[in-house]
Structure 1
Amino acid sequence: MNWLFVLPGFFILLLAVLFFMDSKKHAGVLARQTAPLQLLLIVLTSAIALLSSGLLKRFFYSPQLMFVLWLLFWLLLLVLAVRILAYFVFDFLLLKKQGIRYPKLVKEVVVFVLYIVGILLILNYYLNIRPTALWASSAVLTVVIGFALQDILGNLFSGIVLNFEDSFKLEDWVRIGDREGRVEQFGWRSFKIRTIDRELIVIPNQTASKAEVLIYGSGGQPVRLKIGVAASYQDSPDRVGAAILKALESMTEIRREPPLEVQLVDFADFALNYLVKFWIDDYARHNVIASEARRRIWYTFRRQGVEIPYPKRDVYMKQERSAEIPRQALAEVLQGNDVLREIEAEKFRDLLALAEYKVFGGAETIIREGDASDYFYHIYSGAVNVLKNGQVIARLGAGDFFGEISLVTGEKFNATVVADRESVIVLVSSAHFKQVIDMNEKMALKLSQVITRRQEEMRLFSEKNRRTDSAVLHKNSANLFKRIVNYFATKK
């Protein structure tokens, strides 16, 4: 029996083994990739065996045909062997068994080297062509090709160095020059990064190897952001730093550890420049988080009177549009307030002169439950949410008010109030109220009745299924009356 008939049987057995492993989910990709190649080898080895057999050899045998068939066999066998070896080393042993993610370029370079070695072996042992003689005879051609492929080879070797240096990996966020994105793929000539705007940028390997690369790490690693803030020389660094910390303390996307830092970095021509440093978890959202931090700082500066200065080198006088609320409009608004309308006209005018207003941005906390009470708040424009134990119990709009208990009793706030959107809030200081208003029993009784009724309306808003109990209202009003009298130290 001709031993060449063993070759088709071997490849049939190999194909069966790979498909069996495919059914066990061990080598499904390899079986599908190599099946056409193995079928060709089965056909080719069968033809070689038949043409070498005693009967057909007499009529169809041709040395030239057999030479070509054997050359095709060795080339196809080389391709099959390299594919199987690359799969078991990289995909099976490293990725599946060890969990090591390797760059695609590394596998491609190893496969390329194996092909070169296999072809040289075929040239040497089958075609009797010595590689040294081949290289010597094509020295001039090699130089010409080298110059022509200079950039390509430069990118290739730069890519190999970048992969083996392990400077940055797949899924890392990097900045190269003015380009920033997440590394998606390494290739022979270049690698690809995906920007935050989902744009795909192809960067030559040689460019990355020569340029300064800033590596932020993968998305799961904490990253520190820096934003610049300028403030006037009239505002002390301690005051500015405290305002910035207050503005950012409630941002959930800023890590509490390591703590946020505010550093004074420069005495500029017209401003003190500060650098705000904080850590975040998701670098993919760094632009959004930085924008929200700047927005909150602006609103906090506006409320606390911290100036963000204009350049002093301007040679023209800029006329600012007044942001003050007209006193007449403010008086009309406050006269409709249930609490303040009980005050005598003369006292009301004195109190109006001492009123102030502040602007709060959406999601900013105006008062916190348990904080000491300093002001009575009237909503001039916008809307706020009243929270108790983290749940919204009321929503107030323009014309509504809150903090009335603190105005007349000095007690701490019993709820948290957060701006739903940008809101202008008129503030009446409890100290000024106590200074201006001559509290007496009649006035205290009126205020206690108004405030008790107001509290019941708020309670009914969150508990719509309960009815107002007049006895409870009277009891609460009497209790509040005593607290008001005690706070203002009036005598019966």
Structure 2
Amino acid sequence: MSLMEQALDFFHTSMAHPLVMIGAIVLLLAYRHFSKRTYHLPEFPMGLFMLYFAIRFIWLLVKDASWVGAWDRWIPVAEMIVLSWAMIRLIFALFVDHILKLFGKQPLPKITRDFILLLVYAVVGFILLRTKGEVNLTGLLTTSAVLTAVIGLAAQSTLTNLFSGLTLQMERPYNIGDWIQLGDTIGQVVGITWKSTRLITREDEMIFIPNMTISQSIIKNFSKPSTRHNASLLIGIDYNIAPNKVREMMLEVVKQHPLVLHFPPPEVRVKEFGDSAVLYQIIFAHDHYAEEPRIKTEINHQLWYALKRHQIKIPFPIRDVHHAHIERRRQEKEAVHFREEAEKILSSIPLFTALSDDDRKQIAETIFLKEFGDHEIIVRQGEEGDSLYIIHNGACNVFLGSNGKEPKKIATMHEGHFFGEMSLLTGEPRSATVRAHRDTSVFEIKKEALKHLLEKNPTLSMKLAEALAARKMELSEERGKITADEATKGKLLSKIKNFFGLHA
């Protein structure tokens, strides 16, 4: 007698009382209940053990009844077969399923697992029928062969799907969790069964595709050989804008997205010259294929704001009819209103109160209005800069990083607040990162706007130094990080003169 048969006989003999059966069933149910509620207890297959205990319990109650008859021979054999299958399933779970889970590997596909278990069940079942039931296997196999042929003819499609599924598992063109494309269908593989493969689309729809269809189709796997995927966007730009300017602006936007990989670096290519626009292709890499539509949407969203800031138009093939004189009057009226609003804003900024009305008017004629989308970076800590920003609409968050740590939010600025004064007047690198908190428009004042005024009126630099010193002292009180020596007017005055190239 084999070791397996000895173990089965010992277990089978020990389960000789109905109360033992009831206790075993209660223990199994309790274990299943607690294993689903805690991660400390691994889940194991209990179904076949429950079936065995149920058959054994019923048989112990009725085996002495007069109507049992011929069942007295076959029920114990059935019990042994079910018990052996339960043991095999438990061993497979312990040494295959649990080990794969322990090492963080993908579980075996259901079709592969079921096929292996079915073969082992069949072999063990035939052995027990021969040894315990004294069945003539030659006759049984002959009958089985005829029955198999009849079933095969009646279920050709099902068998084709079965063997197609096994072929797919041997070739492994995809695994559970991979994103694949079959024809026009794109989805994530969530299950592989005897008959079909299940996909979940981005619309959260479940699709069942027969394995036979998959084995005859071209499979595109977006998760192999790696999860990195190249994506692209197409956008048409006005012919009057230089390609280098467009390329620089687009790369700046794409590189800011947190899910875009820096290697390989994003690219911008001139795709073709269309009837009304130059078509540019933006190519970038990411490793979140499931998030690709969202990534593209967010990049397009930020591109709109960047194009508007750089005064770049996206042309479209329509015919515009303008009344030139009416259009000129409208533009002149808007320009006057913009300058008046800019002058008003400048007069409210302490840094520019020392300027005369004429000086502020001159600066207002060179000021720019730029728009930023939510979370867009306006200035980045450590970057060179020579401009100041005044919030016109919206709000901005200020982030400060140090020693390579993740930048932390330290303040929120609203309409009328300004930042970048040190970069404007002394050319110092940006001291913090400023992001738009929501859709935000800012006035930008560049170095060139002040250079002519300072050259014409040298005493103005002293007034600006005084105002800048007061501003730095105000910040020192808030942050406690700027010393009085650094905020002296003399040092700031020297920096201003050096930056603007003024003679001492």
Name the TM tier (shorter chain): 0.7 to 0.9
Instruction: Give the direction of change, closer, same or farther, for the CA distance of 1:250–1:81 in structure 2 (3 Å limit).
Output: same
The answer to whether structure 1 residue 327 and structure 2 residue 339 are counterparts is: yes
Q: How does 1:139-158 map to 2 (within 5 A)?
A: 142=150, 146=153, 149-158=155-164
User: Does the alignment pair 1:33 with 2:48?
Assistant: yes
Moved more, 448-457 or 122-131: 122-131
Equivalent runs, 1:80-229 vs 2, <5 Å? 80-88=83-91, 90-97=92-99, 101-113=107-119, 118=125, 125-126=135-136, 129=139, 132=142, 142=150, 146=153, 149-217=155-223, 221-229=227-235
Matches within 5 A, 1:66-465: 66-88=69-91, 90-97=92-99, 101-113=107-119, 118=125, 125-126=135-136, 129=139, 132=142, 142=150, 146=153, 149-217=155-223, 221-310=227-316, 312=317, 314=318, 326-389=338-401, 390-440=407-457, 442-463=459-480
Rate the CA distance shift 1:275–1:83 in 2: closer, same or farther, 3 A.
farther
Q: How many Å apart are 1:105 and its aligned residue?
A: 1.1
TM-score scaled by length of structure 1: 0.76
Structure 2 residue ranges without an equivalent (≥5): 1-6, 32-39, 402-406
Question: What SS class does the counterpart of residue 254 from structure 1 fall into?
Answer: coil
C-alpha displacement of 1:126:
4.8
**What SS does the aligned partner of 1:295 have?**
helix
SS at match of 2:412: strand
* Higher mean C-alpha deviation, range 240-249 or range 301-310: 301-310
Unaligned runs of 5+ in 1: 1-5, 52-59
Instruction: Name the SS for the 1:277 alignment partner.
Output: strand
Report deviation, 1:441: 5.4
Decide whether the 8 Å contact of 1:8 with 1:46 is kept in 2.
Answer: no
Displacement, 1:134?
A: 7.2
Quick check: 1:359–1:424 contact (8 Å CA) kept in 2?
yes
* Aligned partners of 2:200 and 2:206 also within 8 Å: yes
**1:405, 1:207 → 2: CA distance?**
67
**What is the alpha-carbon root mean square deviation over aligned residues?**
4.4
Give SS of 2:365's match: helix
Give a deviation string over 1:127-165, Cα, whole Å, max 9, x none: 9856546766997xx38x835x44433333332222222
Q: Please report how far the alpha carbon of residue 380 of structure 1 lies from its aligned counterpart in structure 2 after TM superposition.
A: 1.7
Q: Which amino acid aligns with 1:359?
A: E
Distance between the aligned counterparts of 2:491 and 2:8, measured in 1?
Answer: 103
Percent of paired sites with the same residue: 23
Structure 1 residue 102: Cα displacement: 1.5
Give 2:412's aligned amino acid.
R
- Larger deviation, residues 277-286 vs 92-101: 92-101
Aligned residues between the structures: 459
In the alignment, the residues of structure 2 paired with residue 243 and residue 318 of structure 1 have an alpha-carbon distance, to the nearest angstrom, of: 30
**Aligned pair in 2 of structure 1 residues 41, 27: CA closer, same or farther (>3 Å)?**
farther
TM-aligned CA deviation for residue 36 of structure 1: 4.0
- The answer (yes or no) to whether the contact 2:190–2:199 under 8 Å persists in 1 is yes
Q: Deviations over 1:226-278 (max 9, x none)?
A: 33333233333333222222112233322222222333333333333333333
Tell me: CA distance 1:318–1:129, structure 2 relative to 1, closer, same or farther (3 Å).
farther
Q: Separation in 1 of the partners of 2:460 and 2:486?
A: 16
Counterpart amino acid of residue 344 in structure 2: E
Q: Which amino acid aligns with 2:306?
A: T
Larger C-alpha radius of gyration, 1 or 2?
A: 1
Give me the whole-angstrom Cα distance separating, in 1, the residues matched to 2:419 and 2:164. Answer: 66
